[in-house]
Amino acid sequence: MPLARITDPDSPALAKLCEELASRAGADSLGDWPAESLALCGEAGVFEWFLSEEWGGQGWSEADTVRGYLALSQACLTTTFIITQRTGACRRIAGSQNESLKERLLPPLATGQTLATVGISHLTTSHRHFRKPVLRAIPDGGDFVLDGFSPWVTSNDRADWIVIGATIMAGEEPTDQQILAVVPTDAPGLSAEKPANLVGLSSSRTGKVELNHVPVTQDGLIAGPVENVMMTGRTSRSGGHETSTLALGLAAAAIEFLAGEAIQRQDLKPIHTALAAELADVVGDVLIIASGEAVCTNESLRQRANSLVLRATQASMAAAKGAGYVVGHPVERWCREALFFLVWSCPQPVMNANLCELAGITD
C-alpha cells in the first residue's frame, strides 16, 4: 500500500513510515545503499519538509523538523543522516542569492528526483591543521577552477550535486577568502573515491571526492568570495541542533529497548527511568532552541546529546548481554552508530568536553 504524505510530525503516516524504515535499518554494510528507505521517504514527502512552498516544499517549522528528525533517526540513523546531508545542501542553495540556481535545482530536489550532498568539512572540522588548504579555488577570469579534494562526502557516488566549499588562492598562497558552490557529480575532473568501510553507517556511502581542475562558473556559485563562507546564508552551523537531534533519536531507540527489557526485569527499571528522564530533558531543550529561544548553546546541547547517546546505547548493550553482542542485533549496531557522534561535525569545544568526560576530568 502506498504511504500517505506526511504533513506534520503528529501524522500517523510518520509512525507508519518509521516502522518501514526500522524494518530495513539492519542493512548497514558497505554497498547496501538504503534505496528503498529513501524512496519511501520521498513517497511520504519527507524531502519537502525542509524547503519552502516556493520550491515545492512544505516549509516545516524548525521545531516540527526536530520532531520529524527525532522519529526518523530513532527508526534508521543511516537513512536520516543521508537526509540531513541532502537537506544541508538544499538549504545552502535555498539561502543563496543565486535565483537561477535555485529555480534550476530546488524543485527536483524537493520531489526526490535528484540527490544533493555536502563537501564542506575541510572548511570546518576536517584537515584544518594543514597550511595548504586541501581544496583550492583558483581564480580564472571571473570564474574559478577547483583543485584538490573534499575528504568526506556522504552519498559520494550516488549524489547528482555536491555543495562544496573551497579556499581562494593567490598564486601558491591561500587567502582568507572562500567560496561555496554547487558542482554536478558528472563534471569533468570530478571523481568519487570508493566509499570508506566504516564502523557504522557504511551504507551512507561516504568517501573522498577528488577535484582536478573542475570549473565553477558564476551560475554555480552559492556564496563568496568571502571570509568564513559557512557563516553566510543560513543560521544552522556545524555542530548545530540537527546533529544533536539525530544523537537523541538514536538514544531514544536504545532507551525504548531498555523499556521493553525492564517490563520483565526489575533491576532495569531505575536505569530506564533515569535515562528516559534525561532524554526528555535534552529533547525539551532542543525543541526550545528550535523554536528560537536560547535556553543553552548548541555546543552544550551537543555535548549532552553525545554523552547521552553513548551511555544509553551502552546501557542497552549491558541489558541485552551477550545476545546484544552478536552481529545483527540492533543493540550492537546502535553502539557502533553512537560512536559516529564523537566525530561527525564535532566542533573543538564539544570534542574537548567529551574528552574531559571520558577522562573523568570534572572541574
Ligand X SMILES: Cc1cc2nc3c(=O)[nH]c(=O)nc-3n(C[C@H](O)[C@H](O)[C@H](O)COP(=O)(O)OP(=O)(O)OC[C@H]3O[C@@H](n4cnc5c(N)ncnc54)[C@H](O)[C@@H]3O)c2cc1C
What does the binding site for ligand X look like in residue numbers (CB under 6 A)?
85, 117-121, 125-129, 151-154, 198, 201, 204, 206, 343-345
Taking the least distance from each CB to ligand X, the nearer of 125 and 177 is 125
Smallest distance from ligand X to CB 263, Å: 34
User: Going by C-beta distance under 8 Å and a sequence separation of 6 or more, which residues neighbour residue 90?
Assistant: 47, 50, 51, 106, 109, 110, 116
Q: How is residue 217 written as a grid cell?
A: 562558473
Smallest distance from ligand X to CB 99, Å: 25
Taking the least distance from each CB to ligand X, the nearer of 207 and 220 is 207
Taking the least distance from each CB to ligand X, the nearer of 98 and 204 is 204
Taking the least distance from each CB to ligand X, the nearer of 57 and 119 is 119
Smallest distance from ligand X to CB 198, Å: 5
Q: How many CB atoms lie within 10 A of CB 20?
A: 18
Residue 320 CA to residue 314 CA, distance in Å, equals: 10
Smallest distance from ligand X to CB 120, Å: 4
334 and 250 Cβ atoms separated by less than 8 Å: yes
For 177, list phi and psi in degrees, rounded to 5: -95, 145
259 and 239 Cβ atoms separated by less than 8 Å: no
Smallest distance from ligand X to CB 249, Å: 16
Secondary structure class of 133 (helix, strand, coil): coil
Residue 294 CA to residue 290 CA, distance in Å, equals: 9
- The alpha carbon dihedral of 252, 257, 260, 263 has a sign of negative
Site of grid cell 559557512: 230
Taking the least distance from each CB to ligand X, the nearer of 67 and 136 is 136
Smallest distance from ligand X to CB 23, Å: 23
Residue 350 CA to residue 134 CA, distance in Å, equals: 24
Taking the least distance from each CB to ligand X, the nearer of 326 and 355 is 355
Taking the least distance from each CB to ligand X, the nearer of 121 and 177 is 121
105 closest CA partner among 24, 222, 210: 222
Smallest distance from ligand X to CB 134, Å: 9
